[in-house]
Structure 1
Amino acid sequence: MDNAPLILLAAGGTGGHLFPAEALAVELMRRGLRVRLATDGRALRYGGLFARDSIDLVPSATVRGRNPISLARTALTLAYGTLVATNVVRRLKPAAVVGFGGYPTLPPLMAARLLGVPGIIHDANAVLGRANRFLSSRVNAIATSLPGVLDRDPALASKATTVGTPMRPAILAAAAVKYASPEPNAPLRLLVVGGSQGARVMSDIVPSAIETLDSALWSRLVVTQQVREEDMTRVRAVYDRLKINAELAPFFSDLPARLASSQLVISRAGAGTVAELAAIGRPSILVPLPGAIDQDQFANAGVLAQAGGAIRIAQPEFTPERLAADITAFAAEPAKLTAMAQAARGAGRLDAAERLADLVMKVAGI
């Protein structure tokens, strides 16, 4: 194994970037290759597959705003990170460097380019992220989760391959769980999540929407909701007053299993979340993060909504009254949820890790 080719993975330190990297790492190791991860310090919180001794920390910074001093500081940090990453790549001699988005991928992939090591980027969104857009002309291959992402750019489309979003083992296990179609007058399991950092809008809208429901529905609801610590008291007070069966937490480490047991998901529309909903096959109400430069979450939600697996609601339209109306309609006609679950599953890819591993090995010449 010590003589096996090494693939260096580069990812930003959030779950949306790290989970696909972990899924690819599992598949590459299954094929007998070695893997290491280059990332920033945030990744150490996630644990998982990558032990500390298999991680190379590389300085990085995110471009935020247009303040000249801030931009100069970011540029200096990224330049220093590229110097550190160049030493890492020179020492490790990887057969390829694979990036999964986020600014921490810039230094390792720029180092790979400087040293003549093949570079590959994977983007899970319906539009390329800023870091990947910068790298797209500087790598050997581009893997996308969704088709048509680069159709308007023939130069980039020529080196793009649609593979899907690699799924970690916990998601693959959850995908094996059959959707439990809601029964009339039986419990309706609702999962409310807001991404790795939570989303205050869910705490503002969902409890109020549930309070707006016909009281006969309250006893049917089983709510699992991700809630920030600072919002916990007020959200819990609403559910306690209504006697709602609710479990609240700032973070769920077993989220894949909770997705599998849910009958309706209310969520942001991050690329990882949308891909996991499709892979597992669960109906959802998606509220894209507003104000994003690339409107990536709006586009991500649109893919699943167009397939019939989700309802996309822009945040200004995500009101307690609108959400209560949707929940009421689903409770009255649960067959709609079953049809959405099937449609979502039809849009999912469970073999993305294998497809991406094939591409990596081809580019690396392994």
Structure 2
Amino acid sequence: MMTDDAFWAELRAWRRDFHAHPEFGFEERRTSRLVAERLRSFGITDIVEGVGGTGVVATLTRGSGNRAIALRADMDALRIEEKSDLAYRSQVPGVMHACGHDGHTTMLLGAAKLLAAEGGFDGSVRFVFQPAEEWGKGALAMLADGLTERFPFEEIYALHNKAGLPVGKFQARVGTTMSAEDNFEIVLRGMGGHASRPQDGREVLVAACALVVNLQTIVSRRVAPTDSAVVSVTELLTDGTRNALPSTARILGDARSFQTVVSETIEAELRRIATGTAASYDVGCDVTYTREFVPTVNDPVATAAALAAARTVLGEENVTLADQPGTGSEDFARFLQHAPGCYAFIGNGEGSVPAHHPEFDFNDDALPTGTGFFVQIVRDRLATRPTQP
């Protein structure tokens, strides 16, 4: 492969430019424009922009094979103020690449450049650059825009960096890999009043505090100990002030699970507990419960293929099976509902701060890991006869 120092220096420059110019979901106009421009500079001509809003899909075909696989990278940033001293720190107030999508995009571009220049496969590769992963809407938008009909593929693969995992390491897991994410909002309505005379009204703050505690019994008393679940209240907002009791309280939060039946149990119990707690305090209650992400479930054959490709690139000793699924969520799961595939992790370094931290930075030393994997999985799966994992 043409992977000399100049090649990796170019990729580092791209990655740092993306880092300095982050864009929130469905606002990735500069990013998607640069992605399309670079793909054209590689000699790739089949490029469609605006898929699912700001997504880009490019197709590269070599040989006469009729099989197609897809490689996906997410492009969006987060609404977090960067607190680093990097020379290439975010130039956009309140927005930063705190999850490494700048690196994911760069690795897929690097793979596209290598595959366009060197080939080594027989069939078609779909390079899928996705918007708005962070809030779970980008994959659905691309699917609604006809992704699988307009750009059909038989398998799909994606990578995410992992803080704490050494650079050069690769992990994947068969089956459930990441959790579903549900969001909830509970609104309590009563009658506030002067803080010195609570008996004159039906203030909601005590009810809200009781409800926050009561919700913790969902996991401890209603979900089987053999099942995994998390119910977290993340916000408690009222219209009260220092000497005025509130009339309205909003309780917002997040629930994670790995099975549909557990998600359904959480919702049913949350509604029951919220209604019952509100009634015991004589206040009104409205509950909104939404499912933002579904579980990410890796296909056994595709995962075996991903592990085999990673071993070819990195060596047996650097590739492992993850023993537990993660409680984070990922909208790549929506693609896996349409085609088998694998979502895997590469090391961002043992000293990396966690994703979504205001000082997070994708480790440029990990660029060869992801780029090499993407190239190898294409050559394995689109060989004249697909390599058997």
Q: What TM-score, normalized by structure 2, do the two folds share?
A: 0.27
More relative contact order in 1 or in 2 (CA 8 Å, sep 6+)?
Answer: 2
Larger radius of gyration: 2
Q: Which has the higher helix share?
A: 1
Q: Which has the higher strand share?
A: 2
